[in-house]
Amino acid sequence: MKNFLKAASLAVCSGGLAMAASISTVHADEWPSDDVRLVVPYAPGGTTDVLSRRVADLLQEELDANVVVENRPGAGSTVATGRLARGGRDVDHTILMASPGHTIGAAIYPDLAYDPVEDFVFLQNLIDIPNVMVVPADSPYDSVEAFVEAAREENMTFSHSGVGSSIHMSGELFKTLTETNMTAVPFAGSGAALPALLGGDVDVSFENMPTVLSHIKSGDLKALAVTSAERSEHLPDVPTLREVGDYNLDQFVTTAWFGLIAHESFPQEAQDAMQEALEAVMQREEFLDFANQLGAEPGQVAGEEFKQFIAAEVERWQGVAEEAGIRQ
Amino acid sequence: MEIVSEVLQLFLHPENFLAIALGVVIGVVVGSIPGLTATMAVALALPFTFSMEPVAAILLLVGIYKGGMYGGSITAILIRTPGSPASACTLLDGYPMAQQGHAKKALKTALYSSVIADFISNIALIFFAAYLAKIALNFGAPEFFWLICFSLTIIISLASGSMIKGLLAALMGILLSLVGLDEVFGSQRLTFGNYNLMDSISFIPLLIGLFAIPEIIEFYRKKAVPHIKAKASGAGLSLAELKRCLKSIVRGSLIGVIIGAIPGTGATAAAFISYSDARRRSPRRDNFGKGEVEGVAASEAGNNGVAGATMIPLLSLGIPGDVITAIILGAFMVHGLTPGPILFQENLPLIYALFMGIMFSSLVLLVVGNGAIKYFSLIADIPKAILFPIVLMFCVYGAYAVNNDTFDVWLMLGFGVLGYIFNRAAIPAAPFLIGFILGPMFEDNLRRSLLIGGNDLSIFMRGPITWFFIALTLGSIVLALYRYVTARRLPTRADTSQDAP
Amino acid sequence: MSTPDHKRGGPIRDPGDVLAGAVLLIASAVLLFYLVPNYIGEPPVLQNPMMSPRWLPRIVGWLLLGFSALLIMQGLLVDNTGKEDGRRIEKGPRRRFGLMVVALLVYVALFETFGAVISGILATLILFVAHPVRTWWAYSLVIVFPVLVTFLFVNVMNVPLPVMPF
C-alpha cells in the first residue's frame, strides 16, 4: 500500500490541493545540497528514459536527496548535451544520461558548440547493451559467413531506427568492414522497424538486444551474431562478430552503452559522492534485475577510463560517418 | 479451470482496482489541463509503479492513458485546446456545440462514444489479438503508403467551404512537417541551422497555436460583447440522439481498432477517417463542423477505438504503436516481463488479468467521466474575458513543457498568428493538421518502399492489402468528385446558420 | 475582407481571396526558387529522383503555386464574400486589440528572463484591462493563477519552468 500513498499524493497534487510531493532534503555543506537533476536527452518512453527513471529512483535512496528526471529531447541528444556544456547556475547538481547518441551525434551533426570529450566529466558507465545481428526466420542465411558471401553478390537491405542510431551505425560499420552491398532502410524508432524485419521486408538488422530477444527465443527471428566483445549469457549459442574473424570483423565490437556524465566543472566532492552512490546502485538487486531484463551487462568503466572509451568511440564513428557519407 | 482461478487470483486484488481508479482520475485531470498531456502523466507515474505488483503497475498506466485521452477531449470541446492531435477532430463539432450552449451534451457524447469504442476495442484485443497482429506484420511500407494516400483523400471531404483552400492548407501542413532532419540521408531541411527545428516542429505547440490562440486573438479583435449566462450548460445527451449516433460510433470504433492494430499510424488518422466517413453517410451532412452531435461521436469513437487496439501490437509483438505504449513497454521491462509471443506462452494468466483490468477501466472511465462532466461543464459558464487570459497562460506554460524550451512558446504563438490569418482568409485548419501529420508518413513510406524494392515500382502493387487500399483511395476520390459536381449543379441554398464564432 | 456588400461590380469579385492567393503565390515561388535549392541538402549520388530530400518539397511547392493561382482566378471570377465562412467580424476598438498584442509580446520577450510567474501575472493583467474586466475580485485571479499553476507545473509535473528572474 505504500506505493499507493505515493501515487495518491500525485493524484491529490494534480488537483493542486497538496504540496507535500517534493520536500527537498537540504544538508548544509555536503553534496548534494539541493535536488539533483537527471537530464534525459530523449523523449519519454524508450530505453534511455526508462533506465534513467529506474536509476533516479534508486539513486534517490542512495544519495538521500530528490533526483528529478527531466526530458530534454532534440537533435539526437545534442540539444540537451549542448545545454549542459554551456553550464549554468545549477550545473553542480545536474547529471545527464549519455548513450551512443553522444558519440555518434558528435560525428554526424555539423558545428556542434561543444567538445564531446573535453567539456564533460564522465562519472559511470551503467550498462552496456549488445546489438544482435538478426535475420527473419525464413532467411536462407544461417551464418555471418553465408550472409557476407551473399551480400557481395547481391544488394541487401538493413533496417535501422533512425539516422545516427547505434543500429544504423552498426550496419554502416558492417558494410564498410565486410565490403558488401547494403542499403540502409530508415524507420522511426525500433518499434516501427521491427515489423519490417519480422515480415521479411528487410534482410538484416543490427537491433538492440532487448527489442529482439523475445522474438529470437520464440523463433520469429534468427540471431547470426552479437556485437559485444564476449558472448551474451542470454544467447550463449550465438557467436560474437569478433569470433567470425574473417572479413575484418575482428574489429567489430560495439555496444549500446549508457552512462552518466556531468559538466566539466562538476565539483570533486560531488564526483566522489556520485561515485559512491552509483557503485551502491549498481550492486542493488533491482538494478541488476532490470539490466538483466534488457539483456544488458553492468557497465565496466568509470571516470578516466570511461572518458578514454568515449574519445575512442567518437573517433571511430566519425570515420564510419564519413565513409557512409552521413556527415553533412 | 486452473487458469481461471489463477487469473481471478491475479485480478481480484484491491490494489488493482485502486490502480485503475487512480489512473483514470489522474489521466482525466492531467489531460484536461491545456498543454499537459497523458504522455507526461504516464512518464511521471512510471517510477511509482516500480515497487508495485506488475498487474497493478500496468493497469495504473493504462488507466492514465485512457483517462488522458478523454481529458484531452474535454479541453478541445470547452476551450478549443486539443490535448492530443486526435482530439483536434473532436473540436470541429464539439467547440461549436459548447458555444451554442450544449457543452454538457458534447461532453456526454464524447464520453459515451469513448466508452463504447473502448469496449469494442477491448473485445477486439481479447479475442482477435493474434489475428490482428498477423495483419500488422503484413503491413509493410508499400501498404502503409497506400493507407496514407487513402487518409489524405479525407482532406477533400473536410474542406467544407472551398476545395482550393482546403488543399492549400493541407499543402502548407505537409511543407511544415518536412522541416527537420531528412530521414534517409540525415541532411537538414529548412532548419536554417536552428537546433530546435532539427527534430521537426513539435505537435503540441502547433495544435495549441492553431486552434486555441486564434480564438483568443479574435476575441480581443472583436467588439466586447456582454457575457450571457448559459442555463446550466444545456441539457445532456438524449437516448434518441445516442441511438442516431450509434452506427457512426460502431463504425468509428472498428476503424480505430484496425488502425490501432497497425503500429505507427496513430489515433489522429483514425479520428479523422471515422469523422469523414460519418459525414459522408450522414443525412445531416451539412451540419458537420457547425456543432453536430454525430461528428463528436464519430471522432471520439475513432480516437478511442485506437486506445485498446494499440495494446495488440504491444502485447503480441512487443511493438509500441505510440509514445505512451512505449512507456508502458518500459514498465513491463522493469517488472521483468517482455511483451511478445513468449509472454503469451509463459504468462497467460497475467495477460488475461490485464485484459480484465483493461475492460474494467472502461467502466471506471464512464463513472469518473460522468462525475467530471458535472464540474467541467461549469467552465463553459465562465466569462471569456476571465477564461481566455488564464487559458493563454496555461497554453504558454504547456508549450514550454513539451521540450522545456522557450522556443516552443514562440512557435506556439507564431502558429497562433498563422491560425488567426487562416480564420480571416477562411482557410480551414483541419486539413493543415492532417497534412502536417500525414506528410512525413507519406514521404517516408514512399522512400522506404523504394529502398526495400530496390527502386522497383511493382512493390507498390505487391499484394491484396495494397490493392484494397488503392481501390479505397480511387473510390474515395471519385466519390468526392461526383459529390462536388452534383453539388455544383444544384442551386446553392441560402445558408441558414447563425453567426459562427 | 471588411465590407459585407453583396455582388459588387468591378473586376475583382473577392479581394480577400485574391490577396490570400497572391501572398501564397509569392511564398511558394520563394520556396521553389530560393529555399529549396539553398536550404535543403542533396546527396551527391542518387539512384532515384524520388529519393531526394528535395523531391517532396518541390512537388508541394509546385502544387502550392498552382492552387494559389487558381485561388486568385476564383477571387477574380466568383464572389464568395457573402458566404458565412467566418471571415467577417465586427472589429472592436484598437486599444483592446493593441493590449492583446502587448500581452502576447510579454510572453515572447519576458518568459525566459523574468520567469513564468511574473510574465504570467503581467500578461493576464494586461488582458483583463484590455477587455476590460470590471469585476474587482476577478483581479485577484491575476496573481493566484500564475502562482498556483507555476507551482503545479514545477513541483507536481516536474516541468522546470523558469521561475524567477535570476
In this prediction the ipTM stands at 0.89
Q: Is residue C37 part of a domain?
A: yes
The pLDDT tens digits for A177-231 are: 888 889 999 988 777 888 888 888 999 999 988 888 888 988 889 999 998 888 8
What string of DSSP letters covers B236-269? Answer: ---HHHHHHHHHHHHHHHHHHHHHHHSTTS-HHH
In single-letter form, the type of residue at position B25 comes to V
pLDDT at B110: 93
Q: Is residue B495 part of a domain?
A: no
CB contact A14 to C (< 8 Å)? yes
Q: Is residue C24 part of a domain?
A: yes
Answer whether A70 sits within 8 Å of B18, measured CB to CB: no
Taking each helix axis as running N to C, give the angle between helix B87-99 and helix B54-79, from 0 to 180 degrees, rounded to the nearest 10: 40
Same domain, C62 and C108: no
Cα-trace Rg, chain A: 21
pLDDT at A290: 86
Contacts of A76 in chain B (CB under 8 A): 198
Other CB atoms within 10 Å distance of the CB of residue B49: 27
The pLDDT tens digits for B179-220 are: 988 888 878 888 887 877 877 888 888 988 999 999 899 888
Length of chain B: 501
In the DSSP assignment, the letter for residue B52 is S
Q: Enter the C-alpha cell of residue A208.
A: 538492440
Contacts of C116 in chain B (CB under 8 A): 396-397, 400
Which residues of C make CB contacts under 8 Å with A? 41, 43-44, 148, 151-152, 155-156, 158, 160
Q: Is residue C137 part of a domain?
A: yes
Separation of alpha carbons B497 and C6, rounded Å: 18
Domain count, chain C: 2
CB contact A82 to B (< 8 Å)? yes
pLDDT band at residue C86 using 50, 70 and 90 as cut-offs: low
Short-list A60, A63, A40, CA closest to A50: A40
Q: Is residue B237 part of a domain?
A: yes
- Sorted by where each begins, the domain ranges of chain A are 32-128+255-324, 130-251
Distance to chain A for C152, nearest Cα, Å = 6
Q: Is residue B169 part of a domain?
A: yes
The SS3 call for residue A314 is helix
Does position C9 have pLDDT exceeding 70, yes or no?
A: no
Answer whether A22 sits within 8 Å of C155, measured CB to CB: yes
Quick check: B304 and B117 in contact, CB under 8 A? Answer: yes
pLDDT at C83: 66
Q: Enter the C-alpha cell of residue B279.
A: 459525414
Per-residue pLDDT of chain A (328 residues; tens, 9 = 90+): 445 444 544 444 444 333 333 333 444 467 778 888 899 888 777 788 888 988 998 888 888 888 888 888 777 788 888 888 887 778 888 999 999 888 888 888 777 788 888 889 998 898 988 899 999 999 999 988 899 999 988 889 999 988 888 888 899 989 988 888 899 999 887 778 888 888 889 999 999 888 888 889 888 899 999 988 888 888 899 999 888 877 778 888 888 899 999 998 888 888 888 888 898 888 988 888 888 888 888 888 888 888 898 898 888 888 888 887 776 5
Q: Which of the following CATH numbers is that of domain A130-251: 3.40.190.10, 1.50.10.20, 3.90.1280.10, 3.40.50.11310?
A: 3.40.190.10
pLDDT band at residue C40 using 50, 70 and 90 as cut-offs: confident
CATH number at A32-128+255-324: 3.40.190.150
Separation of alpha carbons A190 and A173, rounded Å: 19
Instruction: Please identify every stretch of chain B with a pLDDT value under 50, giving residue numbers as ranges.
Output: 492-501
Q: Is residue B280 part of a domain?
A: yes
Quick check: A260 and A95 in contact, CB under 8 A? Answer: yes
Separation of alpha carbons B162 and C85, rounded Å: 10
In the DSSP assignment, the letter for residue A69 is E
Using CB atoms and an 8 Å cut-off, which of residues 240-269 of chain A contact chain B? none
pLDDT at C24: 93
Q: Is residue B496 part of a domain?
A: no
Separation of alpha carbons C51 and A302, rounded Å: 43
The SS3 call for residue B199 is coil
Structural domain containing residue B216: 2-489
> Strand A36-40 vs strand A67-71: parallel, antiparallel, or unpaired?
parallel
What string of DSSP letters covers chain C? Answer: -----SS--SS-S-HHHHHHHHHHHHHHHHIIIIIHHHHB---S--S-GGGSTTHHHHHHHHHHHHHHHHHHHHHHH---TTS-SS----B--HHHHHHHHHHHHHHHHHHHHHHHHHHHHHHHHHHHHHTT---GGGHHHHHHHHHHHHHIIIIIS------S--
Short-list B32, B43, B117, CA closest to B82: B32
pLDDT at A8: 46
Quick check: B114 and B303 in contact, CB under 8 A? Answer: yes
Residue B481 gets the label, from left (phi > 0), alpha (psi -120 to 50) or beta, of alpha
Using CB atoms, pick whichever of B175, B392, B500 lies closest to residue C123: B392
Does position C1 have pLDDT exceeding 70, yes or no?
A: no
CB contact A69 to C (< 8 Å)? yes
- Tally the C-alpha atoms within 13 A of residue B364's C-alpha that lie toward its C-beta: 27
CB contact A10 to C (< 8 Å)? yes
Separation of alpha carbons C40 and B187, rounded Å: 7
Quick check: A46 and A190 in contact, CB under 8 A? Answer: no
pLDDT at A327: 61
Q: Enter the C-alpha cell of residue C155.
A: 513541483
CB contact A224 to B (< 8 Å)? no
Other CB atoms within 10 Å distance of the CB of residue B96: 23
pTM of the entire predicted model: 0.86
Does position C60 have pLDDT exceeding 90, yes or no?
A: yes
Structural domain containing residue C130: 94-156
pLDDT at A250: 81
Domain count, chain B: 1
- Fold matches, A32-128+255-324 and A130-251: yes
Q: Is residue B140 part of a domain?
A: yes
Optimal mutation site among C40, C72, C85, interface B, most CBs of chain B within 10 A: C85
pLDDT at A87: 78
Q: Is residue B284 part of a domain?
A: yes
Q: Which chains touch A (3 or more CB pairs under 8 A)?
A: B, C
Please say which residue of C77, C103, C130 terminates a domain: C77
Answer whether B499 sits within 8 Å of C146, measured CB to CB: no
Cα distances (angstroms) measured from residue A141 to each of A134, A146, A223, A226: 10, 6, 10, 16
Cα distances (angstroms) measured from residue A215 to each of A137, A142, B8, B172: 10, 16, 29, 41
Query: Which of residues B413 and C162 earns the better pLDDT score?
Result: B413
